Amino acid sequence: MTTNMGSLDRILRTLAALVVGILYLTGTLGGTTAIILGAVALAFVLTSSVGTCPLYTPFGLSTRRTTD
């Protein structure tokens, strides 16, 4: 699998997932919203840890810096 996520992209996704987790744990999020945002947060954590976003691949996107 080719890495297509840069450091900033990975950090922002991880921070967004942490915010969703904190909002859930404090009771701010609940019901369907919590389930949907929880699934998105889980996807963010997984893609950040692997460094590859499957949605970037079909469009040829990459946030990684290229070194020449």
**First-to-last C-alpha distance (Å) of the chain:** 21
pTM greater than 0.95:
no
pLDDT category, 65, cuts 50, 70, 90?
confident
Burial of 28 (0-12, 13-18, 19+ CB in 10 A): exposed
Q: Where are the beta strands (DSSP E) in the chain?
A: none
For the stretch 4-55, pLDDT in tens is 999 999 999 999 999 999 999 999 999 999 999 999 999 999 999 999 999 9
Q: HSE (CB half, 13 Å, CA atoms) of 52?
A: 7
